[in-house]
Structure 1
Amino acid sequence: MIGNPDFFTGRGQDQVAEFQELDSPEGELHLRFFMTSGDEFALPAVGIKEVIASPPDRITPIPNVSPLLLGTLNVRGRVVWVADLGQFLGDSVPLSTDRSEIYVIAVEDQDTMLGLAVDLINGMDWLPLDDIQVPTNLPDGMAPFIRGEWAVGDAQDRHLRLLDQVAILRSARWAA
């Protein structure tokens, strides 16, 4: 139907030619973001329920839970636990809550939803899975949650690391 010239209005055949010339993106769509440490990570878009920019006072602290958890957030009537993803992965510097908004990436697996608080959202990007490399120099605490990495730019010491959101959700660290 879309390839049918009668479907388009306006310039007709010219518009069909323009539509067919669009390049299809290569790879898979990922959300890129930064931790407090400055390290950049990515999550597959298909594993993300939504991205929320929340004022810190909307995250309710809960006493006597894992220090990795910032508290809970009400997302359209659903209570979602929010975790400091950087601390979970071993960053020594906790996420600063002294700011106007905290970025929370809600991931879900089998009706379990968790909000991952990050320092900065970098945007969506199509990343080629053919170029992913085996991670190098990973801290032991981070290794079980990394699927691979891409080299970023010309610098060999900078990497974009691909996270496994299911491994994060199912981690035994949440019980600590």
Structure 2
Amino acid sequence: MVGNPDFLTNAGQDQEPELQELETPEGELYLRFFVTSGDEFALPATGIRRIIEQAPDRITPIPNVSQLLLGTLNEQGRVIWVADLGQFLGYSALLNTDRPEIPVIAVEDQGTMLGLAVNRIVGTDWLNLDDIQVAGNTPDSMAPFLRGEWAVDNDEGKTLRLLDHVAVLRSARWAA
């Protein structure tokens, strides 16, 4: 800035600043991610406590628990159970744990926290709930945990499925 000649001579002071219009996002903020099957899902940002990229060896396996659970991890002094979300939803492919880091989405409701291990996190997006449709062609194993879906690519029939994180947390499947 000091090396800028306009800074030293006050040149350009008479110019009006460019006004930029900020777009107001419509809808609500959601986190988008993929499970091992390649299907894309979303969770409302308001239900997400944190996103953790964790090395697989930092997730401690626990014997005699549901096969859906990968184990626990210690995040800032709090023990978080970590589950393979794809398996929980009924997909047969196991999460690949032979990699440097596993993305874990920690969701919370009424003091209960659960880490959902996913294949890849895409990022956040503003989505409108008015555009959500009833989920079609949904396996019975997944239906209780979906709030609906958005059409992402009509040509290829791709959808973005909205998960109900509270239904996932409160599921009886964790006891199995």
Q: Establish whether TM, by shorter chain, passes 0.5.
A: yes
User: Runs of 4 or more off by more than 6 Å in structure 1?
Assistant: none
Helix, strand or coil at the partner of 1:46: helix
- Structure 1 unaligned runs (5+)? 1-9
Question: How far is 1:155 from its partner?
Answer: 2.8
> 2:107 is matched with which residue?
107
> 2:134 is matched with which residue?
134
- Structure 2 unaligned runs (5+)? 1-12
Q: Tell me, yes or no, if structure 1 residue 50 matches structure 2 residue 50.
A: yes
CA distance in 1, matches of 2:27, 2:77: 35
Helix, strand or coil at the partner of 1:124: strand
Question: How far is 1:156 from its partner?
Answer: 5.1
CA distance in 1, matches of 2:155, 2:112: 38
Aligned residue identity for 1:169: L
Task: Give the total of aligned pairs.
Answer: 164
Helix, strand or coil at the partner of 2:135: coil
CA RMSD of aligned residues (A): 1.6
> 2:32 is matched with which residue?
32
CA distance in 1, matches of 2:63, 2:96: 19
**What are the Cα deviations for residues 115-173 of structure 1, in whole angstroms up to 9, with x where unaligned?**
00000001100111111001001000100000000011233531100000000000000
Aligned residue identity for 2:77: G
Helix, strand or coil at the partner of 2:153: coil
Question: How far is 1:75 from its partner?
Answer: 0.5
> 2:7 is matched with which residue?
none
The sequence identity of aligned pairs, in percent, is 71
* Pair member with larger Rg: 2
Map 1:1-150 to 2 at 5 A: 14=17, 17-18=19-20, 21-150=21-150
> 2:3 is matched with which residue?
none
CA distance in 1, matches of 2:155, 2:74: 41
Query: Please, what TM-score do these two structures have when normalized by structure 1?
Result: 0.89
